[in-house]
Structure 1
Amino acid sequence: QVTALLAMSELAGPVRAQPMSCSSSVTEGV
């Protein structure tokens, strides 16, 4: 799970600008 969060965090940067609810939720959570 930790690895997934780290991977999402890195993707959340560039993907955050794009319209994605999953990424947004993960970004706000972290």
Structure 2
Amino acid sequence: MNGESDLRKLLSGMRPELNPGRYVYTTAPD
């Protein structure tokens, strides 16, 4: 099975949605 490698084609098919709620981004040392 081959994956799609055309970035324009991949991006054109995306339909992002922002879900309600709070988002927290953090980092932790390894």
Greater percentage in helix: 1
Normalising by structure 1, what TM-score?
0.28
Higher relative contact order (CA 8 A, sep 6+): 1
